[in-house]
Chain A
């Protein structure tokens, strides 16, 4: 009931008598502009882009394919960072492992697996979870209660435990890890999607559309969905980071990806046994790669959250 100020709420909007045909800025343009306001978040975005590019173009960027045994030279085993290769030709920037595998190459190849596992699982989980959450909000009643009970149940157990449980039954493998991550993650998307949809569907613009005779399908896809997206985008970003971290943890514990497809987590795990004898680089550098990736993702996600929800800014 408190009166709303009768000034346009953003300083960017021109006065009523402002320039005719004033260039208009859509909500997404505004999001991009607000995002760019934080130098930290922009740096994170650039770093993230570089990481993704490095993973995608790994074969072009690396001196060797670390999993082509023909390219490995056992004589180059356990070299410190910066050592030249015995055959000459290139420098092992980040050192080698016991089989003479270039760690830098291994990291870029590992990044490919880590990123794809994280992104694929987060995407599928988002699709499944958001659909179920929206469906629950839409149908209501017992179906909604049932879906949300499962969500609550699952979310009351920590992700790592659920993943452990699934992998204990299914066994190792990239597919199994992805499956486990999807099962772990879908519930949070479902909860967010349903919560947002319920809040949005009670808003007056939805009721107005209903009054105006806009068909149900159009209301859902043109009005409801676009307005439910922001929290899902924030969640999706952060969940990719979580998925990567969880995959690394599982692989480190020996329950994740197989040795033939080593992700960053497995590289760290392989280096673990040499840590106590001082060969730190085998665990350290893959960890840094992991860290940089996850920090960048989280910073981007954090900025998304601030941009979409200006109240939480500070």
Chain B
């Protein structure tokens, strides 16, 4: 520490030079990092951004020497306070970990069988010469610092007794325990809801100023990069393809890959002028040339027929518990939800976890039965149909799921899987099915000869395309896309969204697009419904919701979204809060809601009195 202080302010805190990391896989050494070099100055934040497999996490693990020594090799220099970390004896390196360099991961990284107090005390005592009682006192002070309410009483709680956001705060508190010079944050907010993420990012920024530390922030989210970092390094397949000032990179990316990546990132607010959804521009990863510019999707006119009509839909789940397994509560997953969708239109359901958006989709699809309410598909009440008619109606709407891995049967070829619904509905013979499969594979951007392959031979994005093809074989009018692009890397996500928009204009498809991602929703929707605790709190045309949000929750949600524009940073503050749970007592009676029409078709729920 003395050494570090002696450094002049201008010299970098951490200098990484020609970092090369290789892994031994099945006996062969494979390079996963190629000569990565960068520097972090004092009190600076450097973001390392990239898609999966880019080597961004390996970079951090290499710096910390946390990779398994038997199967990994790290070369190059990692200069920290003048010393090369890669050459330190392992005992000294251990003292640096958690001491001068602290690290946080996703919030699930606390050991489930120990209390958070145990974690804090052991870290404090490992690095600082404290008695157990002193360490406990210090732990309480740290929890206070990261704004955990009634810190002293929570020290003996276990990680699972905290919410995700609070767990991440605990990890930050532990990281601060030994006044680190550098904090390495490896995707710390990836699994958190957007409003919680905003609070955590806020806290990190505040603490960075208070503690005068530098941050190495690893993320896949360009919005978070813009929100957090002074400098950015973009990684692709183990290479640092671009490094520079964050503002510079966003304003004028030089590397072709950076350009293609940024082109695939939706930016909140950029759609204000556009009437309908808009395709992402496509930029060649290798050359940086624009292959296809951004283009507007179709806009249905007001006279297009209504395809789906949902009225007062209610879905609740009973919770059984206690010694006798009695009813102890209910999840009010969907409460009096009403909306309709026209032909060729995309309605997005947006909200955070537990808001009931997925349950709404599943209830409409018939995967979950509603407690009350009606769902009309092309004028026919789905709930009242007989088995046969239900199957016929089912053909008219289809669902695409989130997980590209589990949504295809691993033991069926892709062709068989796509043809199966066509054949079981007896829409034609085998030859016809084969032709149709070939046609659909081409439509979703795959080759017809791929029909003979099995799902494991495809990537995540390709599998989502296959799922689309499988849904389309029944010529549906409506597709319910339940977080269908959420698990995909940003550039793949853009491609799949472009495909969905193309299919919409070609086939006049309607989409119910369920997502937690406001920026994507802005890009793809004609209309948007914001859900909170099972209810729609605001619904209207996309431009109205994003341009003139009325409900406090909509505003909060919008202000929490990290915007991929470094010039807009830090203009908004968000108060510390927790997500509320839709679990209610058995005797809970949902209040009667009233809505106010703000402008034509833009309705907002009136607040409780």
Same assembly: yes
A-side residues, CB < 8 A to B, are 1-10, 12-14, 16, 20-22, 24-27, 30, 203-205, 207-215, 218, 222-223, 226-227
B212 within 8 A of A: no
Q: Per-residue CB proximity of B455-495 to A under 8 Å, as 1/0?
A: 01111111000010011001000000000001111111000
> Could you tell me if A24 and B407 are in contact, using CB atoms closer than 8 angstroms?
no
A227-B410 contact, Cβ under 8 Å, with A8-B457, A27-B454: yes
B424 to chain A, nearest CB (A): 5
Q: What bracket does the count of chain B residues touching chain A fall in?
A: 35 or more
Closest to B405 in A: A4
A211-B53 contact, Cβ under 8 Å, with A5-B459, A21-B452: no
Query: Which B residues from 399 to 426 make CB contacts under 8 A with A?
Result: 399, 401-413, 420-421, 424-425
Q: Per-residue CB proximity of B231-264 to A under 8 Å, as 1/0?
A: 0000000000000000000000000000000000
A204-B401 contact, Cβ under 8 Å, with A21-B452, A27-B410: yes
B37 within 8 A of A: no
B430 within 8 A of A: no
> Could you tell me if B402 and A7 are in contact, using CB atoms closer than 8 angstroms?
no
Contacts of B394 in A (CB 8 A): 211-213
Closest to B26 in A: A11
A54 to chain B, nearest CB (A): 35
B-side residues, CB < 8 A to A, are 51-53, 187, 190-191, 220, 365-367, 391, 394-395, 398-399, 401-413, 420-421, 424-425, 447, 449, 452-454, 456-462, 467, 470-471, 474, 486-492
Closest to A9 in B: B456
> Could you tell me if A211 and B365 are in contact, using CB atoms closer than 8 angstroms?
yes
> Could you tell me if A3 and B456 are in contact, using CB atoms closer than 8 angstroms?
no
> Could you tell me if A22 and B410 are in contact, using CB atoms closer than 8 angstroms?
no
Question: What would 20 A/B residue contacts be, using CB atoms closer than 8 Å?
Answer: A1-B487, A2-B190, A4-B405, A4-B487, A5-B459, A5-B489, A6-B52, A6-B492, A13-B458, A16-B462, A21-B452, A24-B453, A30-B456, A204-B401, A205-B407, A208-B399, A208-B407, A212-B421, A213-B424, A222-B412
Contacts of A20 in B (CB 8 A): 447, 449
Among A7, A204, A212, which residue has its beta carbon within 8 angstroms of that of B420?
Answer: A212
Contacts of A215 in B (CB 8 A): 424
B384 to chain A, nearest CB (A): 18
A27 to chain B, nearest CB (A): 5
Contacts of A209 in B (CB 8 A): 409, 420
Closest to A212 in B: B421
Known contacts A209-B409, A213-B425, A227-B410, then 11 further A-B pairs from the complex at CB < 8 Å, ordered by chain A residue: A3-B487, A5-B459, A6-B52, A6-B459, A8-B457, A21-B452, A26-B454, A205-B409, A207-B399, A209-B420, A210-B367
- Report how far A211 CA is from B471 CA in the complex, Å: 9
Contacts of B366 in A (CB 8 A): 211
Contacts of A26 in B (CB 8 A): 411, 413, 454
- Report how far A21 CA is from B471 CA in the complex, Å: 24
- Report how far A13 CA is from B411 CA in the complex, Å: 16
- Report how far A50 CA is from B374 CA in the complex, Å: 66
- Report how far A214 CA is from B422 CA in the complex, Å: 10
- Report how far A226 CA is from B417 CA in the complex, Å: 14
> Could you tell me if B458 and A8 are in contact, using CB atoms closer than 8 angstroms?
yes
- Report how far A66 CA is from B93 CA in the complex, Å: 72
The total number of A-B Cβ pairs within 8 Å is: 133
A31 to chain B, nearest CB (A): 11
B9 to chain A, nearest CB (A): 37
Closest to B424 in A: A214
A25-B454 contact, Cβ under 8 Å, with A205-B407, A227-B409: yes
> Could you tell me if A213 and B51 are in contact, using CB atoms closer than 8 angstroms?
no
- Report how far A16 CA is from B402 CA in the complex, Å: 22
> Could you tell me if B470 and A208 are in contact, using CB atoms closer than 8 angstroms?
yes
A199 to chain B, nearest CB (A): 10
Contacts of B467 in A (CB 8 A): 208
- Report how far A227 CA is from B454 CA in the complex, Å: 14
> Could you tell me if A6 and B461 are in contact, using CB atoms closer than 8 angstroms?
yes
B315 to chain A, nearest CB (A): 16
A176 to chain B, nearest CB (A): 39
- Report how far A43 CA is from B486 CA in the complex, Å: 46
Closest to B480 in A: A211
Among A7, A211, A223, which residue has its beta carbon within 8 angstroms of that of B459?
Answer: A7
Among A5, A16, A213, A218, which residue has its beta carbon within 8 angstroms of that of B53?
Answer: A5
B81 to chain A, nearest CB (A): 33
Contacts of B52 in A (CB 8 A): 2-6
Closest to B362 in A: A207
A17 to chain B, nearest CB (A): 9
Closest to B452 in A: A24
> Could you tell me if B488 and A203 are in contact, using CB atoms closer than 8 angstroms?
no
Contacts of A14 in B (CB 8 A): 457
> Could you tell me if B424 and A24 are in contact, using CB atoms closer than 8 angstroms?
no
A113 to chain B, nearest CB (A): 37
B371 to chain A, nearest CB (A): 20
Contacts of A227 in B (CB 8 A): 409-411
B467 to chain A, nearest CB (A): 7
Contacts of B490 in A (CB 8 A): 3
Contacts of B487 in A (CB 8 A): 1-4
B356 to chain A, nearest CB (A): 18
- Report how far A218 CA is from B403 CA in the complex, Å: 23
> Could you tell me if A213 and B411 are in contact, using CB atoms closer than 8 angstroms?
no
> Could you tell me if A3 and B470 are in contact, using CB atoms closer than 8 angstroms?
no
> Could you tell me if A1 and B411 are in contact, using CB atoms closer than 8 angstroms?
no
Among B399, B411, B489, which residue has its beta carbon within 8 angstroms of that of A3?
Answer: B489
Contacts of B402 in A (CB 8 A): 204
Most buried by A among B367, B410, B488: B410
Contacts of A1 in B (CB 8 A): 190-191, 486-487
Most buried by B among A13, A26, A205, A226: A205
Contacts of B460 in A (CB 8 A): 3-6
Contacts of B220 in A (CB 8 A): 3
> Could you tell me if A208 and B424 are in contact, using CB atoms closer than 8 angstroms?
no
> Could you tell me if A212 and B489 are in contact, using CB atoms closer than 8 angstroms?
no
Closest to A14 in B: B457
- Report how far A250 CA is from B16 CA in the complex, Å: 68
A211-B398 contact, Cβ under 8 Å, with A24-B452, A24-B457: yes
Closest to A202 in B: B406
Closest to B393 in A: A213
> Could you tell me if A212 and B453 are in contact, using CB atoms closer than 8 angstroms?
no
Closest to B402 in A: A204
Most buried by A among B187, B457, B487: B457
- Report how far A6 CA is from B402 CA in the complex, Å: 15
Closest to A211 in B: B399
Contacts of B457 in A (CB 8 A): 8, 10, 12-14, 24-25
> Could you tell me if B424 and A218 are in contact, using CB atoms closer than 8 angstroms?
yes
Contacts of B447 in A (CB 8 A): 20
The list of the 10 closest CB pairs from A to B, nearest first, reads A13-B457, A212-B421, A204-B407, A4-B460, A204-B401, A5-B52, A6-B459, A205-B409, A203-B406, A24-B452
> Could you tell me if B365 and A3 are in contact, using CB atoms closer than 8 angstroms?
no
Closest to A1 in B: B191
B404 to chain A, nearest CB (A): 6
> Could you tell me if B454 and A6 are in contact, using CB atoms closer than 8 angstroms?
no
- Report how far A189 CA is from B367 CA in the complex, Å: 29
Contacts of B413 in A (CB 8 A): 24, 26
- Report how far A198 CA is from B408 CA in the complex, Å: 17
Most buried by A among B404, B409, B467: B409
A28 to chain B, nearest CB (A): 8
- Report how far A210 CA is from B187 CA in the complex, Å: 36
Contacts of A9 in B (CB 8 A): 456, 459
> Could you tell me if A27 and B190 are in contact, using CB atoms closer than 8 angstroms?
no
Closest to B463 in A: A4
> Could you tell me if A205 and B408 are in contact, using CB atoms closer than 8 angstroms?
yes
Most buried by A among B53, B367, B459: B459
B418 to chain A, nearest CB (A): 10
A161 to chain B, nearest CB (A): 31
> Could you tell me if A3 and B51 are in contact, using CB atoms closer than 8 angstroms?
yes
A213 to chain B, nearest CB (A): 5
Closest to A223 in B: B409
